[in-house]
Structures are given as structure tokens and as C-alpha cells.
Amino acid sequence: MKLDSVEDDIFRLAVESSPAAMIVTSQDGAIQFANTETARMFGYQTQELVGRRIDILVPVRFRQSHVGLRQGYVEAPSKRSMGIGRDLKATRRDGSEFPVEIGLTPINTARGILVLATVLDITARREAELALAQRASELERANEQLAQFAYIASHDLQEPLRKIAAFSDLMERAIELSNQQEMEHANQVIRTSALRARSLVDDLLTYSRTINDTQQLEEIDMRDEIDVVLDDLSQSATEAGAEIRIDVPHLKFTADRSQFARLISNIVSNAIKYRKLQEPARVRINSSPLSKSAALLEIADDGIGFDEKYALTIFEPFRRLHSQAQYPGTGIGLAICKSIADRHGWLLSVKSTPGTGTTFFVTIRSLLQNTGGAVSRDDQGL
């Protein structure tokens, strides 16, 4: 299209009021005009852009190849859309990059061909797409976990229910025969089985919530939260004669407070439970930095330990390495810990040696750093 002076003024007004960044360049890539949105989007003053090559808005690693692409476009100009379905980036004045979609339109003028570039910042769209993909991945993982543990749970629940049914029949016969001893025995078995079934159901609900419930993420202090958990466990620790040493600084990070507390509580409770016979449990809780945005939390004990071939198995629902008689429980505590870690994007692993002890490692990748009195996230972490 051709523009006269009046049309040129109208064109400038339309471009200046556009909500998209609009840039007019000459054939050699020199910026002739940039609207206010361009200045805002890229962090320049408008007058700073005029006369400079448009290549300054391209990531440094692509500038050399961009020169050739720009020259090729001028030789065969046409309306084009760029960036749709591709990872196209632009660069702000401060060097930060952001995803864009670009439309190119050639404009015929008396001075020759000019190129109108329309630039859309699609950061919000990409973030929404990423969040949607992440949520879809979480749902797929949750469905797989629920399907797995539903199968196992149905098997584990059958045991106490079978006992309840069987000993209910024994109770009936004992009542008919007025056999007090048999009645008391049947009653005790029924009660124990009912309590175990209830415990299983409670843990199943807890596990389900860690997979499906919306997380309440907030800034928490690692040392403060661990202190609260240990205070809650103080009675059971005292009864077991447990010695718990803690060397954890006041690190700030983002997490669901109740889920982090449950993760710590389950691991420490395990350390107390699986202590050596006739010996007090000794538990050490330490934290060390991995980077500005990550820390390694270690919870170690000197208990009975286990063969490391089970290092992955122990995180599966209802997987037990010891009999119910030896160490009571539902076998779902560590599965809950794994689910909590996965949902936070943390890494949970374990090392153990039979007769020596066990150490759980939690890599927390959501630390917050204090910068000039304000808390800010360091995005250059692991």
C-alpha cells in the first residue's frame, strides 16, 4: 500500500494507540518509528530506539543469523506471522528474554519499502499453557498413584474385614453356648480388626488428600516448622527415650505448611519406631545449602536399617519390610511423604544399611533469599 502525508499521519496515530508493540524499519533494519507500547515492552525510551537496528531487540545469540533473515525478507516481502507454535524470543534492554509472536507487513512508500513489525508479548499465555500442562501431568500421575494404591488398599482392607466377619460368626456361637472366654476373645479380635480398618481408611484419606487437594503455598521457616513438629512428637520421643539433635538454620521457603509438617513428622516417627531393641532412638536433623535457591535436608537415625534394594519400594503404599506384629502401622506413611515431595517439586531419597541406620534426604528447591530487606525468589537454582 502507498501512503501520502495525510494517510501517514493517520497511520502514526493508529500505530501509537495500538496495545501491541509496533515498529517501522527501513530496508536496512534501522528503526524509523516505535510506538509507546514498544518502549514499555522493551524498556527503552522511544527516542533511544529510533535510528538503531532492530537487531538489538533480538537475543544476542540469534543476532547474526537475524541479519540474514531480515535481508532475505526485504528481497521477497510479504505479510507473515512468526512465532506461532515456535519458541520465538525477544530481548529487553536489561537483557531478559520473553516469548513473542511477530507479524511482518511490507509498506510501499515513496522512499521505498518499509517494514511494519507487530510484536505481542505472549508471556502470560505461555505461563498459562505451562501451568495447564503441569496440572495435566499432575493429574495423570495422581490417577496412576490412586489406581495403584486402590488395588493394594482393597487387598489390605480385606484382611481386617475378613477377621471381623469370621469372628462375628464365632461370637454368635459363643453367645449361644454362653462361652464367656470365647466371647471375650472374639470381641477383642473384632475390636482390633475394626481399629486397624479405621486406621487404614484414615491413612487412605490422608494419602488421597496429599495427591488431590489444592496446596496452600506460603512462606515458612524451616527451623521453626521442624521445632513445632518435634514439640508435637515430644511425648512419643520421651517414651521411646529418643535423642533428637537438630542443626537447621532459619531458611525461608515456599511450601504447604501442613504437608511439610506431615513429611517431617512421618520420617521422624519412623526413626523412633524402627530403633534397635533395648536401645534409645538417636535422630539427627541437618540442613546444608546446595545453591541460593536449594537446600538439602537430612534426617538420619541409627536404627535397624534395611537393605538398599528396597530404597524405592518403601515409598509405595502399604509396602512393609517388617511384620505387623513387630512394628504396627499401615505402611503408608512414607508413600504420603513421597507424594508431598513430588507435589512440591522436591526430591526425596533414602540410604540405609541393615543394623546401622537410615538417612532420608529431602532436596528443597523453593528457598527464598533476603535481598535488601525484601524477600525475592532466586530463579537461577537447580
Q: Per-residue pLDDT averaged across 169-177, rounded? A: 89
- Do 254 and 364 fall into the same domain? yes
Q: Per-residue pLDDT averaged across 326-347, rounded? A: 81
Q: Per-residue pLDDT averaged across 332-341, rounded? A: 88
* CA-based nearest residue to 46, from 56, 58, 31, 59: 31
**Residue where one domain finishes, among candidates 121, 156, 183:** 121
Dump pLDDT digits (tens) for 24-80: 999 889 999 899 899 999 999 988 999 999 999 999 888 888 888 888 888 888 888
Q: Would you state the pLDDT for residue 64?
A: 85
Phi, psi (deg, nearest 5) at residue 378: -90, 110
Q: How many domains does the chain have?
A: 3
Residue 26: give the domain boundaries: 5-121
- Do 225 and 315 fall into the same domain? yes
The pairing of strands 374-377 and 368-371 is antiparallel
Q: Would you state the pLDDT for residue 49?
A: 92
Mean pLDDT (the chain, rounded): 83
92: domain CATH number is 3.30.450.20
Q: Would you state the pLDDT for residue 58?
A: 92
Residue 194 Ramachandran class (φ > 0 left, ψ -120 to 50 alpha, else beta): alpha
324: domain CATH number is 3.30.565.10
- Do 172 and 113 fall into the same domain? no
Q: Per-residue pLDDT averaged across 206-234, rounded? A: 86
Residue 362 CB partners (closer than 8 Å, separation 6+): 263, 296, 297, 298, 299, 341, 346, 347, 348
Stretch among 196-200, 214-218, 363-367 having the lowest mean pLDDT: 196-200
Give 28 or 137, the one with higher predicted confidence: 28
Dump pLDDT digits (tens) for 85-95: 677 899 999 99
**Residue where one domain finishes, among candidates 213, 242, 263:** 213
For residue 290, pLDDT over 70 is answered with: yes
pTM assigned to the model: 0.53
Question: Dihedral through CA 151, CA 269, CA 191, CA 318, nearest 10?
Answer: 10
- Do 271 and 331 fall into the same domain? yes
| Helix boundaries (H) for 34-122 | 36-42, 46-49, 63-75
For residue 227, pLDDT over 90 is answered with: yes
- Do 286 and 166 fall into the same domain? no
Strand, coil or helix: 248: coil
Q: Per-residue pLDDT averaged across 79-84, rounded? A: 76
Q: Would you state the pLDDT for residue 307?
A: 85
- Do 254 and 372 fall into the same domain? yes
Give 3 or 124, the one with higher predicted confidence: 124
Stretch among 20-34, 152-166, 171-185, 239-253 having the lowest mean pLDDT: 152-166
